[in-house]
Amino acid sequence: MKPNTAYGPRDWETHPPYNAPDYRSTALRSPRKPLVPIVHTLSELTGPVFGQEAVGPLDNDLTKNGARNGEPLGERIIVTGRVLDEAGRPQRNMLIEIWQANAAGRYVHTVDQHDAPLDPNFFGGGRCVTDSDGRYRFVTIKPGAYPWRNHPNAWRPNHIHLSLFGPSLLTRLVTQLYFPGDPLLAFDPIYRTVPEGARERLVSRFSLDETEPEWALGYEFDIVLRGPLETPMVD
């Protein structure tokens, strides 16, 4: 049976190679043999399907969803944008999940033993479902840079991890959002695994329109699933 070509193979002018020597851990997880195309099944092409009832009212507010006895420390920010397909059509009911370090650059995770404080009021994870205009919105704390031992004096730029399922399992996107003007981007092997013409798509735009006076700076980040302007995978 001929493989279904509803979704073509990954475009290597946008996405990083599976094995990028400067990003050391990719050597351990990248395939050693050419990939074998398989037939896409109906369930892979039609789901998963999420609705607004899949998320709770605080799930998109990371300044509140991990609060125990106060507000998290750090710079409060708004991150918003639209999820679009290759033709610029808004994608509604897309589940977006995010995870990130706190303002000091520390994750709530046993593997993260970086010498920086945890924040008792910040869990660092959230999710939301896009509205009828394909828009999502998170309130969070600007994540700090952190060291990661990939090479001497290696520091990750400020970033937020994102996961989207898209309209089908075959449009699953895992990537990272960065912030404009971050001096660490020039030294970051993960960001630099993305082909040069596509990597700026991962840098959010500062937006005075999304900024709320006296409260939080706003950043815009549109996510494009497939097509010539697709958002690169980064994991």
- Enzyme catalytic residues: 107, 146, 156, 159, 161
Going by C-alpha positions, the residue among 211, 221, 213, 222 that lies closest to residue 77 is: 211
Q: Say which amino acid occupies 74.
A: G
Alpha-carbon distance values, 77 to 21, 63, 136, 143, 187 (Å): 34, 9, 14, 10, 25
Separation of alpha carbons 11 and 7, rounded Å: 11
Task: Count CB neighbours of 11 within 10 A.
Answer: 14
84-89's contacts with Cβ under 8 Å and 24+ in sequence apart are 84/134, 84/222, 84/223, 84/224, 84/225, 85/167, 85/224, 85/225, 85/226, 85/227, 86/224, 86/225, 86/226, 86/227, 86/228, 86/229, 86/230, 87/227, 89/134
Residue owning tokens 């808004």: 90
Contact, 189 vs 22, CB < 8 A?
yes
